[in-house]
Structure 1
Amino acid sequence: MLKKAVKKPILLTGAPRSGTTFVGRMLDLSSSIGYFHEPFNVQFGIEGIHENFIYIYEGMENEKYYENLLCDLLKGKAKYKRAPLDVVNQDKPLFIKARNYLGRAIIKSKPNVNYYKVKLTPSIERYFLKDPIACMSSEWLHRKFNMDVVILLRHPAAFVSSLKRLNWRFDFRHLLNQPDLLREHPEILEIIKDYDVKNLSIVEEGALWWTSIYTVLFKYLDRNPNMIAFRHEDISNDPFEKFKELYEHLGMDYTPQIQEKIKDFTDNSNPTIAEKNKVHVLKRNSKENTKVWKKKLSSEEIRLIKEITEPVAKRYYSEIDW
Structure 2
Amino acid sequence: MTPVLVTGLPRSGTSWTGRMLAAGGELIYVNEPLNPQHPPGRCPGVLRASVTHRFQYICDGNSAAFLPAFRDTVALRYGFLAELRANRSPYDLGRLARYGGAFLYGRLTGRRALLDDPFAVLSAGWFATELGCKVIALVRDPVSFVASWQRLGWTVHFHELLDQPLLVRDHPSVLELRALAGSGDRIAKAVALWRFARQVLGATPGIRVVGYEALAASPIAGFMELYHYAGLTWSPRARRRITRACTTPAGAGPGFAWSGLSRTGFRPMDSRQALRSGARGLTPDEVARIRDLAGPVHT
The question of a shared fold, defined as TM-score above 0.5 by the shorter chain, is answered with: yes
Gaps of 5+ in 1: 1-6, 86-100, 273-277, 317-322
Deviations along 1:198-256, one digit per CA (max 9) or x if unpaired, are 22322222111111211111111xxx2x3111111111111111011111111211112
Deviation at 1:104, TM superposition (A): 1.8
Contact between 2:78 and 2:103, CA under 8 Å: does it hold in 1?
no
Residue of structure 1 equivalent to 2:58: 56
Query: In the alignment, which of 101, 106, 117 is matched to residue 102 of structure 2?
Result: 117
SS in 2 for 1:34: strand
Superposition map of 1:1-322 within 5 A: 7-43=1-37, 44-45=40-41, 46-48=47-49, 49-58=51-60, 60=61, 62-75=62-75, 76-78=77-79, 103-107=90-94, 109=95, 113-121=98-106, 122-190=108-176, 192=177, 195-220=179-204, 224=205, 226-267=206-247, 269-270=249-250, 280-310=265-295, 314-316=297-299
More divergent stretch after superposition (242-251 vs 123-132): 123-132
SS in 2 for 1:315: coil
Contact between 2:124 and 2:207, CA under 8 Å: does it hold in 1?
no
Q: Tell me how far apart the structure 1 counterparts of residues 36 and 83 of structure 2 sit (CA, whole Å).
A: 9
Aligned-partner residue type, residue 269 of structure 1: P
Q: TM-score, normalised by structure 1?
A: 0.78
Deviations along 1:99-127, one digit per CA (max 9) or x if unpaired, are xx9632522x48x7235312124334311
Deviation at 1:298, TM superposition (A): 0.9
Q: TM-score, normalised by structure 2?
A: 0.84
Deviation at 1:33, TM superposition (A): 0.8
Percent identity among equivalent residues?
25
Aligned-partner residue type, residue 162 of structure 2: L
Q: Tell me how far apart the structure 2 counterparts of residues 172 and 67 of structure 1 sit (CA, whole Å).
A: 26
More divergent stretch after superposition (282-291 vs 72-81): 72-81
SS in 1 for 2:101: helix
RMSD of the TM alignment (CA)? 2.6
SS in 2 for 1:296: coil
Q: Note closer, same or farther for the CA distance 1:297–1:216 as it changes in structure 2 (3 Å cut).
A: same
Q: Note closer, same or farther for the CA distance 1:270–1:177 as it changes in structure 2 (3 Å cut).
A: same
Q: Note closer, same or farther for the CA distance 1:71–1:269 as it changes in structure 2 (3 Å cut).
A: closer
Aligned-partner residue type, residue 160 of structure 1: V
Q: Tell me how far apart the structure 1 counterparts of residues 234 and 186 of structure 2 sit (CA, whole Å).
A: 39
Gaps of 5+ in 2: 42-46, 253-262
Q: Tell me how far apart the structure 1 counterparts of residues 152 and 180 of structure 2 sit (CA, whole Å).
A: 23
Q: Tell me how far apart the structure 2 counterparts of residues 30 and 104 of structure 1 sit (CA, whole Å).
A: 28
Deviations along 1:57-85, one digit per CA (max 9) or x if unpaired, are 12x1x421211221232341446869x99
Aligned-partner residue type, residue 70 of structure 1: F
Q: Tell me how far apart the structure 2 counterparts of residues 22 and 81 of structure 1 sit (CA, whole Å).
A: 27
Q: Tell me how far apart the structure 2 counterparts of residues 170 and 63 of structure 1 sit (CA, whole Å).
A: 26
